[in-house]
Amino acid sequence: MANEGKKFLDFYVSSPVCSPSRASLLTGCYPQRISFGTFDGLGVLFPGQGIGLNTEEDTIAKIVKKSGYSTKIIGKWHCGDQEEFLPTNHGFDSYFGIPYSNDMGIQKEIVDYYPENSTLAKVTEWDRPPLPLIRDKEVIQEQPDQRSIAERYTEDAVRFIRNNQDKPFFLYLAHMQVHLPLYAAEKFVNESKNGDYGACVASIDWSTQVIFDELKELGIDENTIVIFTSDNGSRLQNQGGSNGDLRGRKGQTWEGGQRVPCIIRWPGNVEAGSVCNEIATTMDFLPSITKLIGGELPVKKIDGIEMSDLFFSNEISSKRDIFFYYNEDNLEAIRYKNWKLHIKKEGNNVNELYDLEKDISESNNLFNENKNLVNQLLSYIDSFRKELGDKSLSIVGNEVRPPGRKKNPKPLTSFDDNHPYMYAEYDKGERG
């Protein structure tokens, strides 16, 4: 895909964990603007919580649907599992997938690698309900065989593309892999040189190849933009993944937690094998896609910047020169052009400044040599705190919108001793 499209090497998600990151991609907003930084004290949404993406928020799906596109999401949603929060109430015509993380079903044992002071560590002893597989709003299977999920998702994607080949369509395919626990088809496990992690990566490679092949077979390859990215960096522990030279991991605001791969492919329009070193984020997809289809931008304020020129030209500079790094609702760092200033990590104040153009691994602290620059960046942070808040300083933002809430929420499933589950208990205990 990279050989046929453009790689974005300075590309970010707005959160180092999944629920905030995914809502941000959909809405073009920092998670904190839409009250998706934390969820009643938890870092991500859990089964049966009465919180979700507010239906009054505009999403990419709503915008393209208004422009005549058929819309579908396949895979992980993780923006609320109550009926009013599901994708079909956020602009998607249909949905097929697991509504949250694949480690949130029943498992044989619990192995959690989060630090003891993490909010997520508090829920590791929950008696979690069976993992649901959903078609639109209906649970069609409980505890599905995760080894076959990539194939089932891909089959559904191909069916959707075939059914909409003669009209505009928008497909959001959010694979289960490579989230823990790592399950893949036997073929990929047997061929992998990097254990189950490698097998899961191979599953995504296979799925992507199938979709490209289908686009070519239908003769619509050159009319279809395909974007590939992630929701956060690798978590590294007990997994087999890598963040390369980037410092840190999932759940952290070092580059390894939020700087992720992004490839954009559009044969005949995006230059094959090209590279973009300009700053861009998943928040920028909404305004960029809206411009490309001639749609209408949301009335409510968003944080995304229209970047479609970067897709097509290697001579255009990014319109984004500043980016804020939140961990949950705590503002921990800022990037301004090539500079990144860290002010807080894991609840502790820090003074660290890095030149990312020369030091992508954040290893050479230049804080003491650049006091004027530090003061300038601190002023940007103070201004932004007023807008979106900073829980570590008890600052409530004045431009924060509420999440969706439901009274008396219920999980989508409940365990039944007499139900013929495919797996009553999954045989791996990894989570995260």
Query: Active-site residue 200, yes or no?
Result: no
Burial environment of residue 299 by CB neighbours within 10 A (0 to 12, 13 to 18, 19 or more): exposed
* Residue 331: pLDDT over 80: yes
Catalytic residue selected from 29, 78, 175, 342: 78
Q: Compute the distance between CA of residue 25 and CA of residue 284 in angstroms, rounded to an integer.
A: 8
**CB-CB contact of 175 with 210 (8 Å):** no
Tell me which of 18, 79, 200, 276 is the catalytic residue.
Answer: 18
How close are the terminal C-alpha atoms of the chain, in Å?
28
Six token digits for residue 18: 């999944």
The larger pLDDT score, comparing residue 417 to residue 3, is at 3
In 370-429, DSSP assigns E strands to 404-405
The amino acid sitting at 24 is S
pLDDT at 224 over 50: yes
175 is catalytic: no
pLDDT tens sequence across 61-115: 999 999 999 999 999 999 999 999 999 999 999 999 999 999 999 887 665 544 4
Instruction: Say whether 263 sits in a helix, a strand or coil.
Output: strand
Lowest mean pLDDT segment, chosen from 82-86, 113-117, 156-160, 405-409: 113-117
On the question of pLDDT at 237 being above 80, the answer is no
Mean pLDDT of the chain, nearest integer = 94
Global pTM? 0.94
Given 3.30.1490.190, 3.30.450.40, 3.40.720.10, 3.10.20.90, which CATH number is that of 6-117+124-431?
3.40.720.10
CA distances to 119, 138, 380, 399, 405 from 387, rounded to whole Å, are 25, 39, 11, 5, 22
pLDDT band at 141 (very low <50, low <70, confident <90, very high): very high
Instruction: Name the nearest CA neighbour of 20 among 44, 54, 49, 50.
Output: 44
The answer on pLDDT for 125 being more than 50 is no
Across 267-292, average pLDDT = 97
* Tens-digit pLDDT profile for residues 15-36: 999 999 999 999 999 999 999 9
Q: Which region among 110-119, 172-181, 245-254 has the lowest average model confidence (pLDDT)? A: 110-119
Domain definitions of the chain by residue range: 6-117+124-431
pLDDT in tens, 350-388: 999 999 999 999 999 999 999 999 999 999 999 999 999
Residue 42 is given by DSSP the state B
- Segment holding 161, helix H or strand E: helix 149-163
Half-sphere exposure of 254 (CA within 13 A, CB side): 21
Secondary structure (3-state) at 83: helix
The neighbouring-strand residues paired with 327 are: 330
Q: What pLDDT is stored for residue 238 in this prediction? A: 63
